Amino acid sequence: MKIRTNFLIAISCLLILSACKKEQPAQSINKDIQVMHPRVIWTEKPQEHAIISWTSTHLGEGNYVLFDTIPNLTGNTHLKANSSKDGKIFIRNMDYAEGIPEAFYHHTELNDLMPATTYYFKFCTDNSCSETYNFITAPDKDQPYAIISGGDSRLGGEKPRFAGRTPSIERQQMNRMIAKLTEEDPSIIAFAHGGDYCTTADWRHLYYWFEDHTLTITKDNRILPLIITRGNHEHEIGFLENFWLGDITNEYSDGYFFMTQITPSSALITLNTETSMAGDQLEFLEETLEKHRVKNNWMFVQYHKPAYPAVKDFDREDFYHVRKYWVPLFEKYKISLALESDGHALKKTMPILNGKVDPDGIIYIGEGGLGVPQRKPFPDRWFFGKESIVDSKHHLWKITVTDSLANVTAFGIEQDTLHTFSLTPKPFLVESTAN
């Protein structure tokens, strides 16, 4: 009887505690979710595939993208794609010390898209959704198009502190110009970034890069898809978390080297100077050029560290490796143009073939002016000449491509034309690789 009495007393206590717990106000971790930092990423097949990435203040229980070919996304007729990858962004003590808020990354893949089509989308964490943005998929037919190319957007914004460096607003100015160029020329379809987005890939730096990147969005909320290059300032885990390339068919996607088929006869190969330039990557480059060069009138290549530097030591080991491993394949397969960064100066080389100036050679442009302080280049190097440009000016390159001509223009921070030149396709036959 005593045991039964004690049991009843215990049950009564549990019921009282349970009642007290129910009377407490419910707490929702998602009460004040904010979503921000929209990005569109292109990888291999931009006619049918894109990645939508964003940041939120809470992880959320449901992360997804609503999208359609019409701007009205309020009904239930639009498409929905759930996120492919989510997680908490790694934060260091320095990030906390500078007051950078905790945040979460989200990436959603959109598949089976239609080519040359404007897609409207909003991204959501739980029921907190962004405003509606849009982007245009790549065409599946050959037609004129343009891309923006540039690198080294370190520093930027008035609020962040960058390890004792004076913050600069040049990155913001360059981003506003990208938006303005896109508004003026709707044929611009992508932004090929050459790497070194921030001082580091830690969150205190990436957070403000993402904040500034919103300045590239046009007045009608159009976002230029990014084609991502990895630079020497992207060795922290934050780069892998926030610039995710998805499950692309290229088995080497973890190495950030792949080919983007922009039109049926125009492609951009992205390489990674921050890993071995031989081995798997060299094999990828040779196989890709061997398979795809013959059907592409235009074959552009982008990577971070230059083969022919305008500023740094020409004989540095990593620059030498670009020339040793990659340049012979560039020349063998007659690529159209090489896009470089890293040096923090404006440059266009003379055409180079077999280690000397040759009218049949390859031109190398760059080399990083999207906001980083510019350095003094060396215009007396052998690969510069009367048709070159070498200067210390913030810049980006606009490459406008048609079937028979590519017009390449360097714009300064005031949208002033710094240099312009044209290219024609290099004749290429499979037999031409025999030698």
Q: How many whole angstroms separate alpha carbon 112 and alpha carbon 78?
A: 14
According to CATH, the topology of domain 35-135 is Immunoglobulin-like (2.60.40)
Contact indicator for 38, 214 with CB cutoff of 8 Å: yes
100 secondary structure, DSSP code:
P
At residue 167, the pLDDT reads 57
Read off the pLDDT band of 248 (50, 70, 90): low
Q: How many whole angstroms separate alpha carbon 115 and alpha carbon 429?
A: 29
Q: Whole-model pTM?
A: 0.90
Q: Could you give phi then psi for residue 418, rounded to 5 degrees?
A: -95, -30
Per-residue H/E/C for 161-214 = CECCECCCCHHHHHHHHHHHHHHHCCCEEEEEECCCCCCCCCHHHHHHHHHHHH
**CA dihedral over 350, 356, 358, 363, signed as positive or negative:** negative
**Can the peptide bond before residue 367 be classed as cis, meaning omega within 30 degrees of 0?**
yes
Read off the pLDDT band of 75 (50, 70, 90): confident
Read off the pLDDT band of 16 (50, 70, 90): very low
At residue 432, the pLDDT reads 52
Q: Are strands 389-391 and 396-401 parallel, antiparallel or unpaired?
A: unpaired
Contact indicator for 69, 114 with CB cutoff of 8 Å: yes
Closest by Cα among 34, 38, 49, 35 to 246: 49
404 secondary structure, DSSP code:
S
Contact indicator for 336, 299 with CB cutoff of 8 Å: yes
Domain boundaries, the chain: 35-135, 141-433
Over residues 70-74, mean pLDDT: 90
Contact indicator for 400, 407 with CB cutoff of 8 Å: yes
CATH 3.60.21.10 fits 141-433, yes or no: yes
Closest by Cα among 284, 274, 190 to 230: 274
Over residues 225-229, mean pLDDT: 98
Contact indicator for 278, 322 with CB cutoff of 8 Å: no
Question: Which residues, including other chains, have CB under 8 Å from residue 77's CB and lie 6 or more apart?
Answer: 68
**Which residue did the predictor score with more confidence, 208 or 41?**
41
Contact indicator for 350, 393 with CB cutoff of 8 Å: no
Contact indicator for 349, 383 with CB cutoff of 8 Å: yes
Q: Over the stretch 115-151, which tens digit does the pLDDT of each residue have? A: 999 999 999 999 899 999 999 999 999 999 999 999 9
140 secondary structure, DSSP code:
S
At residue 386, the pLDDT reads 96
Read off the pLDDT band of 163 (50, 70, 90): very low
Query: Hey, what are 190's tokens?
Result: 């992508």
Closest by Cα among 368, 422, 421 to 395: 368
pLDDT at residue 251 is higher than 90: no
Q: How many whole angstroms separate alpha carbon 388 and alpha carbon 363?
A: 9
Q: How many whole angstroms separate alpha carbon 362 and alpha carbon 213?
A: 32
